[in-house]
């Protein structure tokens, strides 16, 4: 698991203590004594891939038997919106049409998890997963569908609990072939 350097952890702890003071709490009360350290640890985990542009933890296997469509559906993810640093979370469905090489299936949820661990917006998260699937597998087509709840829309601001945002990106044959795209959409839970 990622940890920040001592210098960075000190900055995060100081910032958290200041934040607690500014919102009107007392950082020296018992319940908050270890909070700055916990926040520093939690941020190292939540933002573990920040600044990384390429997903590296994958394996490819050559195949003579390309499937028409490979789908991993309803992969859970948790991310932080870059506007408010509040969570947005939900599921991602990834489909691709292989082109002589297949990616180890577990690496697709790993890619989603990697892509989500940085400040982002849903559209950019969708695009990053799609771009990395294209770079890594050089497929005939890729589809990425993200269905998500945004805490910045639910617990503040417009205050709309229970609203879902979906974003989709289709590339190659999954963009041009309507039947293939329909097959992909049928695998997305509840048609969301």
Ligand X SMILES: Nc1nc2c(ncn2[C@@H]2O[C@H](COP(=O)(O)OP(=O)(O)OP(=O)(O)O)[C@@H](O)[C@H]2O)c(=O)[nH]1
Binds Zn ion (CB under 5 A): choice among 13, 41, 84, 175: 84
Where does this chain touch Zn ion (CB under 5 A) — which range of 4-12, 51-59, 74-82, 175-183? 74-82
> Is 84 labeled as ligand-binding?
yes
> Is 152 labeled as ligand-binding?
yes
CA torsion 6-7-10-14 (nearest 10°) is: -170
Cα distances (Å, whole numbers) of residue 94 to 24, 147, 184: 44, 12, 9
Is residue 112 a contact residue for ligand X (CB under 6 A)? Answer: no
Q: Which two tokens stand for residue 43?
A: 């941020």
Where does this chain touch Zn ion (CB under 5 A) — which range of 54-62, 64-72, 73-81, 112-120? 73-81
Binds ligand X (CB under 6 A): choice among 19, 48, 152, 185: 152
Which of Zn ion, ligand X, none binds 158 (CB below 5-8 Å, type-dependent)? ligand X
Is residue 92 a contact residue for ligand X (CB under 6 A)? Answer: no
Is residue 81 a contact residue for Zn ion (CB under 5 A)? Answer: yes
Beta strands in 52-151 (DSSP E): 60-62, 70-81, 87-97, 101-103, 119-120, 141-150
Which of Zn ion, ligand X, none binds 123 (CB below 5-8 Å, type-dependent)? ligand X
Which of ligand X, Zn ion, none binds 112 (CB below 5-8 Å, type-dependent)? none
Helix ranges restricted to H, the chain:
6-22, 35-46, 107-116, 122-137, 151-154, 173-176, 178-187
Is residue 149 a contact residue for Zn ion (CB under 5 A)? Answer: no
* Class of residue 151 by CB neighbours under 10 A (exposed 0-12, middle 13-18, buried 19+): middle
DSSP assigned state of 159: -
> Is 145 labeled as ligand-binding?
no
Is residue 153 a contact residue for ligand X (CB under 6 A)? Answer: yes
DSSP assigned state of 82: T
| Count of residues near ligand X by CB under 6 A | 10
Is residue 83 a contact residue for ligand X (CB under 6 A)? Answer: yes
Residues in contact with ligand X by CB under 6 A are 81, 83, 121-123, 150, 152-153, 157-158
């Amino acid at each position: 698991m990622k940890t920040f350097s001592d210098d960075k952890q000190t900055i995060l702890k100081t910032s958290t203590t200041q934040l607690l003071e500014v919102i009107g709490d007392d950082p020296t009360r018992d319940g908050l004594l270890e909070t700055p350290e916990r926040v520093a640890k939690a941020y190292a985990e939540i933002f573990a891939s920040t600044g990384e542009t390429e997903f590296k933890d994958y394996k490819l296997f050559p195949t003579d038997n390309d499937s028409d469509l490979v789908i991993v559906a309803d992969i859970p993810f948790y991310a932080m919106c870059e506007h408010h640093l509040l969570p947005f979370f939900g599921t991602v469905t990834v489909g691709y049409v292989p082109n002589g090489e297949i990616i180890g299936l577990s690496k697709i949820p790993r890619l989603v998890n990697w892509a989500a661990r940085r400040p982002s917006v849903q559209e950019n998260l969708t695009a990053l997963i799609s771009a990395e699937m294209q770079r890594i597998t050089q497929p005939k087509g890729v589809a990425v569908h993200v269905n998500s709840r945004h805490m910045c829309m639910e617990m503040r601001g417009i205050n709309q609990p229970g609203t879902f945002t979906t974003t989709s990106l289709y590339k190659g044959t999954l963009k041009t072939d309507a039947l293939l795209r329909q097959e992909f959409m049928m695998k997305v839970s509840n048609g969301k």
